[in-house]
C-alpha cells in the first residue's frame, strides 16, 4: 500500500468516525496479514472491532446514566443460596425482552435477601441488551416528584422519568407514602403503563400495599396497572449476610436469633 493510499484511508476512516479502530489500524493490518485473512474476513474484523468498541462505550455510558448505587452482577448472585428465586426466570429477564415488550418486574421479599442486588444486576443486563435504564429509590423518587409538583414542573419531571425504557424503583414500602405522594406515584405508573417498563422491589407483598399507600383503592389501581403485564419474583428466606454470619458461627441458629 502506498503512503498516499494509507493516508487517504486514515483520513476517510476519521471522516466516517471509525475513531475506535483508527489507533489500532496498524495492528489490525499486520494481524490480518499474519492470519492470512481474505478481503471479506479483513473487512469483517475491522468493522467488528469498531462495533465492539462502540458497544462497550455505550454500556459504560448507560451504566453511568443509570445511577446504580453499587456494582452487582448476576454472575455474583448465588442462586443456590436463594432457592426461592427462579434462576431461569431471572436469566430470561436478563435478555431484556421484558423491556422490549414494556412489561414490569416486581421483586418481593424481606430485607437482605438480594432484592436490590437482583434489581441492579438485571438493570445492567438490560443496558447490555441495548436499553436505557434509570435507578432510583422510592424515597428519592417521591421527593423528586413532590419537589417538581411544588415547582409546577410535575409533567416535565414525569416525562423525564419516562425517558429510560426501564425505571427501577428500589425499596418501595419501607416507608409509608403520604396521600399526595401516593397520587404522584400513581401518575407515574399510569404514564408508563404499557409504554415502558418498571422494575420495583418491595419488602411488602401486594396484599399490604394498601398500608404502604394509605389507601386501598389507590393501591389496587396501582397494582392493577403494574401487574397487568408483569413478572413477579418472591424471595423467601433470611438475609444473605445474616446467613453467612450464621454459617461462620458468628450468630446463634434461627430459633435463637432475635
Ligand atoms: P435487599 O435489597 O433484599 O434488602 P440486598 O440486595 O441489598 O438485599 O442484599 C444484601 C447484601 O447481600 C448485598 O451485598 C447483596 O449483594 C448480598 N446478597 C444477597 N443475596 C445474595 C445472593 N443470593 N448471592 C450473593 N450475594 C447476595
Ligand atoms: Mg434493598
Nearest Cα residue to 200 out of 233, 177, 228, 239: 233
Please choose from 114, 137, 241, 242 the residue to mutate so as to test ligand 1's pocket, defined by most ligand atoms within 8 A of CB: 114
Looking at residue 153, the DSSP 8-state letter turns out to be -
For the chain, list the domains and their CATH numbers.
3-60 (no CATH), 74-243 (3.40.50.300)
Output the CA angle 178-182-211, nearest 5 degrees.
70
* Cα–Cα separations (whole angstroms), residue 224 to 57, 59, 239: 38, 33, 29
Is the minimum distance from the CB of 124 to ligand 1 under 6 angstroms? no
Distance CA 208, CA 202 (A): 10
pLDDT in tens, 170-199: 999 988 888 888 999 999 999 988 889 999
Asked if residue 81 has its Cβ within 6 Å of ligand 1, the reply is: yes
Grid cell of 202 as nine digits: 418491595
Give per-residue pLDDT as tens, 192-244. 888 899 999 999 999 999 999 999 999 999 999 999 999 999 999 888 888 88
pLDDT band at 247 (very low <50, low <70, confident <90, very high): confident
pTM of the model: 0.88
In this prediction, what percent of the chain has a pLDDT beyond 90?
84
Residue 143's pLDDT is: 93
> DSSP code of 21?
T
Q: State how far the Cα of 67 lies from the Cα of 136, in Å rounded to an integer.
A: 8
Amino acid at each position: 500500500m502506498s503512503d498516499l493510499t494509507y493516508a487517504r484511508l486514515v483520513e476517510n476512516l476519521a471522516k466516517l468516525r471509525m475513531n475506535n479502530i483508527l489507533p489500532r489500524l496498524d495492528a489490525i493490518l499486520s494481524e490480518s496479514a499474519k492470519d492470512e485473512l481474505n478481503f471479506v474476513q479483513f473487512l469483517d474484523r475491522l468493522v467488528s472491532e469498531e462495533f465492539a468498541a462502540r458497544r462497550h462505550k455505550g454500556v459504560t455510558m448507560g451504566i453511568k446514566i443509570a445511577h446504580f448505587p453499587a456494582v452487582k452482577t448476576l454472575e455474583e448472585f448465588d442462586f443456590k443460596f436463594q432457592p426461592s428465586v427462579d434462576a431461569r426466570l431471572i436469566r430470561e429477564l436478563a435478555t431484556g425482552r421484558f423491556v422490549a415488550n414494556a412489561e414490569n418486574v416486581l421483586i418481593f421479599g424481606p430485607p437482605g435477601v438480594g432484592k436490590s442486588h437482583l434489581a441492579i444486576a438485571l438493570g445492567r443486563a438490560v443496558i447490555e441488551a441495548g436499553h436505557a435504564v434509570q435507578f432510583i429509590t422510592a424515597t428519592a423518587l417521591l421527593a423528586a416528584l413532590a419537589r417538581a409538583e411544588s415547582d409546577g414542573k410535575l409533567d416535565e419531571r414525569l416525562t423525564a422519568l419516562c425517558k429510560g425504557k426501564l425505571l427501577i424503583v428500589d425499596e418501595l414500602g419501607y416507608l409509608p407514602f403520604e396521600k399526595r405522594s401516593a397520587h404522584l406515584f400513581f401518575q407515574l405508573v399510569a404514564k408508563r403503563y404499557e409504554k415502558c417498563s418498571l422494575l420495583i422491589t418491595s419488602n411488602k407483598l401486594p396484599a399490604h400495599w394498601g398500608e404502604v399507600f394509605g389507601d386501598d383503592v389507590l393501591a389496587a389501581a396501582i397494582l392493577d396497572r403494574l401487574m397487568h403485564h408483569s413478572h413477579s419474583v418472591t424471595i423467601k428466606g433470611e438475609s444473605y449476610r445474616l446467613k453467612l454470619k450464621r454459617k461462620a458461627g458468628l450468630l446463634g441458629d434461627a430459633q435463637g436469633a432475635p
